[in-house]
């Protein structure tokens, strides 16, 4: 089991090769985070690269008080926010399609499941970015509320309210899209 | 307890932020409320789908870019270490030479006599003294280093440009051609790592008022990483004018939000230090 905190402290002490292990361990996860935030595959790769560049530049600021994963997502989130501010991306961005057929289920079941996944992803892409990011960080990056609250710079109760609002917006969007798909 | 609280409790459980699922009372409330039942079913579906799908994979270009960046960072680190070692070995050599030349007073006198005699009988070009000759040699070495630095600074490869920047540390700090080249890199180089290294090198050559103005004028055009380093250096080593202009830049919105926050922290830290 790789101790990512230990690896990051090694990078901090000048053993830059340890960054390669951290990269291999987290690149897919980060890439998917940026994809779920509505970025194209190319932009998502740029953002992963930018994130690791910042990890290298800011390595002296890692103190091990939070997990490396939390620290990394904090940097990733800021990278995403900076990119969004710079390019003011519209909400009509590339749909994230992570559907892959499951060999065990029937063709009909696969189609139903794929349609459901696709609708969830479309619905996620259409809600405001500040609500989308907390859903993505919680549901897909599996970060805890405390960690997300620290990243988005709000208190825990505010985050919980935002989470409830995000779910509500997601459901509205899903129902609207589902209604459109059915007609 | 209202529907919102029940929904929030369910989301907290599904997201791993609560140990237990809905209480029996909450479950009863859900059963009695069709709208709430639908919402609970929705969040369960959202949290429980997609778990078996394979994640999307990035292309091999991402690996290539990352490992190229890592190689450049490692090369820059080695160059920095080599520069430091060269400086240390030179110091050591000079110390040893001094020690060898100054053993005891009688011997010192004999040595000085010997050196003067050597000087008398050896023809020095154009009647120069030893000190002037040494100075000339030093200048020639620095000029050579400047030439090497300048040629590498304009190289296509970012790692060569980084090496060129490290060479500037062995040149005359008043060399305006090099100072201008470093400023040009800060403003125009396509690599953030190169810009940061050039900024660091330029500051180590000494900050004057003209350089301060040039850097302040370029802050708005920089990416957040370079802005952060500029703020850190200008507040740490710059004049009050730099602080005032950076505050104005923050107010006018040209600084990134994180950079603005760092600026406030740096100014506060500097004031605290000055008041001690």
Predicted complex ipTM? 0.82
Q: What is the pLDDT of residue B258?
A: 80
Residue-wise pLDDT tens digits, A80-107: 888 877 766 544 445 555 444 444 456 6
Higher pLDDT, A154 or A101: A154
Q: What pLDDT, on a 0 to 100 scale, did the predictor assign at position A21?
A: 93
Subunit contact B15:A145, Cβ cutoff 8 A: yes
pLDDT at B122: 47
Q: At B68, phi and psi to the nearest 5?
A: -70, -45
Distance CA A57, CA A54 (A): 5
For residue A37, pLDDT over 80 is answered with: yes
* Tens digit of each residue's pLDDT, chain B (276 residues): 788 899 999 999 999 999 999 999 999 999 999 999 999 999 999 988 755 566 889 999 999 999 999 988 888 888 777 766 665 555 555 555 555 555 555 555 555 555 555 444 444 455 555 666 666 666 666 666 676 677 677 777 787 788 888 878 777 777 777 888 888 889 888 888 888 888 888 887 877 888 888 888 888 888 888 888 888 888 877 888 888 888 888 888 888 888 888 888 888 877 776 665
- The nearest CA of chain B is from the CA of A16 a distance in Å of 7
Distance from CA of A93 to the nearest CA of B (A): 17
Helices (H) and strands (E) in chain A, counts: 8, 0
The pLDDT assigned to A181 comes to 57
Per-residue model confidence (pLDDT) at position B214 = 86
User: Residues B9, B39: contact at Cβ < 8 Å?
Assistant: no
For chains A and B, what is the number of CB pairs under 8 angstroms? 117
**Mutation test of the interface with chain B: which of A57, A120, A123, A178, choosing the one with the most B Cβ atoms within 10 A?**
A57
Distance CA B109, CA B89 (A): 28
In this prediction, residue A103 carries a pLDDT of: 47
Mean pLDDT throughout A11-18? 91
Taking the CA of residue B191 as centre, how many other CA atoms within 13 Å lie in the half-sphere pointing to its CB?
A: 19
Whole-model pTM: value is 0.55
Inter-CA distances, B107 with B17, B111, B112, Å: 82, 6, 9
CA dist B222 and B199 (Å) reads 12
Reported confidence tier of residue A159, pLDDT bands at 50, 70, 90: very high
Report CB contact under 8 Å: A100, B12: no
Range from A3-12, A22-31, B242-251 carrying the lowest mean pLDDT: B242-251
More confident residue, B115 or A23: A23
Quick one: average pLDDT of A56-73? 89
Res B204: pLDDT: 78
Q: Which of B49, B55, B66 sits opposite A116 (nearest CB)?
A: B49
Q: How far apart are CA A111 and CA B15, in angstroms?
A: 27
- pLDDT of amino acid A91: 40
Cβ distance A171 to B39 less than 8 Å, yes or no, reads: yes
Helix axes B176-188, B209-218, angle to 10 degrees: 20
- At residue B21, the pLDDT reads 93
| Residues of chain A positioned with their CB less than 8 A from the CB of B42 | 167, 171, 174
Checking if the pLDDT of A8 tops 90, the result is yes
Q: Do A32 and B55 touch (CB under 8 A)?
A: yes
- Partners of A78 on chain B (C-beta within 8 Å) are 258
């Amino acid at each position: 089991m790789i101790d990512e905190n230990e690896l990051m402290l090694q990078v901090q002490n000048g053993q830059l090769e340890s960054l390669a292990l951290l990269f291999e361990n987290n690149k897919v996860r980060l890439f998917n985070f940026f994809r779920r935030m509505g970025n194209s595959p190319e932009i998502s790769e740029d953002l992963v690269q930018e994130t690791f560049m910042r990890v290298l530049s800011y390595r002296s600021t890692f103190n091990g008080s939070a997990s490396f994963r939390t620290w990394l997502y904090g940097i990733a989130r800021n990278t995403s926010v900076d990119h969004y501010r710079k390019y003011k991306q519209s909400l009509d961005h590339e749909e994230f399609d992570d559907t892959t057929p499951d060999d065990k289920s029937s063709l009909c079941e696969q189609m139903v499941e794929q349609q459901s996944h696709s609708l969830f992803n479309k619905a996620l892409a259409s809600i405001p970015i500040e609500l989308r990011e907390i859903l993505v960080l919680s549901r897909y990056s599996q970060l805890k509320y405390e960690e997300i609250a620290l990243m988005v710079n709000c208190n825990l109760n505010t985050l919980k309210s935002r989470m409830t609002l995000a779910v509500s917006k997601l459901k509205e969007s899903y129902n609207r899209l589902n209604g459109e798909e059915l007609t | 307890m209202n529907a919102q609280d029940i929904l929030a409790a369910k989301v907290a459980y599904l997201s791993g932020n609560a140990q237990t699922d809905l209480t029996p009372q909450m479950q009863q409330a859900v059963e009695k409320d069709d709208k709430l039942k639908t919402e609970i079913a929705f969040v369960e579906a959202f949290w429980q789908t997609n778990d078996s799908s394979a994640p999307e994979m990035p292309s091999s270009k991402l690996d290539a870019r990352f490992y190229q960046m890592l190689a450049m960072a490692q090369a820059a680190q080695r160059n920095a270490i080599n520069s430091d070692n060269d400086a240390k070995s030179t110091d050591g050599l000079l110390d040893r030479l001094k020690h060898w030349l100054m053993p005891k007073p009688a011997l010192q006198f004999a040595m000085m006599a010997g050196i003067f005699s050597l000087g008398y009988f050896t023809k020095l070009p154009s009647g120069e003294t030893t000190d002037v000759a040494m100075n000339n040699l030093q200048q020639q070495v620095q000029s050579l280093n400047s030439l090497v630095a300048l040629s590498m600074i304009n190289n296509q490869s970012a790692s060569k440009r980084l090496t060129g920047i490290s060479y500037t540390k062995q040149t005359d700090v008043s060399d305006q051609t090099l100072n201008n080249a470093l400023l040009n890199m800060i403003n125009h180089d396509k690599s953030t790592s190169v810009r940061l290294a050039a900024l660091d090198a330029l500051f180590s050559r000494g900050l004057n008022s003209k350089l301060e103005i040039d850097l302040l004028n370029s802050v708005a055009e920089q990416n957040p990483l370079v802005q952060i380093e500029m703020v850190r250096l200008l507040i740490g080593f710059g004049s009050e004018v730099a602080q005032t202009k950076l505050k104005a830049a923050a107010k006018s919105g040209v600084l990134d939000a994180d950079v603005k926050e760092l600026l406030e922290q740096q100014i506060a830290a500097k004031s605290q230090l000055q008041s001690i």
